[in-house]
Amino acid sequence: MVEHEGLRLKRIEFVSEEAFRLPLWVVAGTKESSLVVLNALDAQGYEAMLAELGGLFPNAFPTRPEDSSNAAVRERGEQTGRLLRNQPWAFAYLVPRGIGPTRWTSDARQANHIRRRFVALGRTLEECWIYDIRRATRILSADTDLKNARLWLQAERDMAVMAIYAGALEPRIERLDLWEPLASHMSGPVLRNVLKIFDVPQALTLVYPRRVILYNADREAFRWSEDVARLLAKDGRPPIAFRTVDTP
């Protein structure tokens, strides 16, 4: 546990599967948390987390990306700090296997070879990421400080698609915030045989009637999801919403 200027940082290590020990960072203010937002990070998101949290907890992240001194990065970190000091919330950050601190190699050819080995063993790496996210939600639910907190899930790009499947399988997740989610497995994460049944827009409806917010998504590509949401609307409020947000 590290404390700095009214914030607390806790690093949890847990075994997702045998031989896969993953880090999970939890940042909160001094108040008891009523909500925890789990961020499932891809490689780009992991670098952004290091830069932002490194500004809030410099001693905990001595090695940070070069852009950590960037004004926009500092501002995002300061916004996170202000939010957590004023709200009884917590932000959790998961880096699934093969990304960031558990990355196997920086060589693209070797990385592709490792991905093929996963398939040879009966599942894709992306399927493993779904399991890692699910395990992280259960670790948070068992944590003494967070077991009574509501749980939201947030992810970007490819990992946003993984979050959809994790959300469908973990009913304790109350809401999904998905940034720039890919609309098809044809151009996105590889899951075996899924396209024989449905694609991402159909998978998204498995989360309903829980709330889903899509940021900077291709609304036309998710038209099917939106049509189903209208059928499930309560008090005129469908479970899905689209938002366009400027990103630095």
Residue-wise pLDDT for 196-237, tens only, equals 999 999 999 999 999 999 999 999 999 999 999 999 888 778
Confidence at residue 187, expressed as pLDDT on a 0 to 100 scale: 86
How far apart are alpha carbons 76 and 178 in whole angstroms? 18
3-class state of residue 152 by DSSP: strand
Residue whose tokens read 């070797």: 110
Indicate if the alpha-carbon torsion angle 96, 100, 104, 108 is positive or negative. Answer: positive
What region does 118 belong to: left with phi over 0, alpha with psi -120 to 50, or beta? alpha
Instruction: Supply the pTM of this predicted model.
Output: 0.89
Which tens digit of pLDDT belongs to each residue from 172-187?
999 999 999 999 998 8
How far apart are alpha carbons 224 and 202 in whole angstroms? 7
How far apart are alpha carbons 231 and 238 in whole angstroms? 8
How far apart are alpha carbons 33 and 88 in whole angstroms? 5
| Band of residue 70 on the pLDDT scale cut at 50, 70, 90 | low
How far apart are alpha carbons 132 and 207 in whole angstroms? 18
Does the pLDDT of residue 247 top 70, yes or no?
no
Span 149-156, mean pLDDT?
Answer: 96
Span 118-136, mean pLDDT?
Answer: 86
How far apart are alpha carbons 137 and 151 in whole angstroms? 8
How far apart are alpha carbons 107 and 236 in whole angstroms? 51
Asked whether the beta carbons of 215 and 203 are under 8 A apart, the reply is no
Confidence at residue 68, expressed as pLDDT on a 0 to 100 scale: 52
| Band of residue 123 on the pLDDT scale cut at 50, 70, 90 | confident
Span 238-242, mean pLDDT?
Answer: 93
Confidence at residue 69, expressed as pLDDT on a 0 to 100 scale: 54
Query: Which residues 6+ apart lie within 8 Å of 47 measured at CB?
Result: 65
Does the pLDDT of residue 120 top 80, yes or no?
no
How far apart are alpha carbons 24 and 118 in whole angstroms? 23
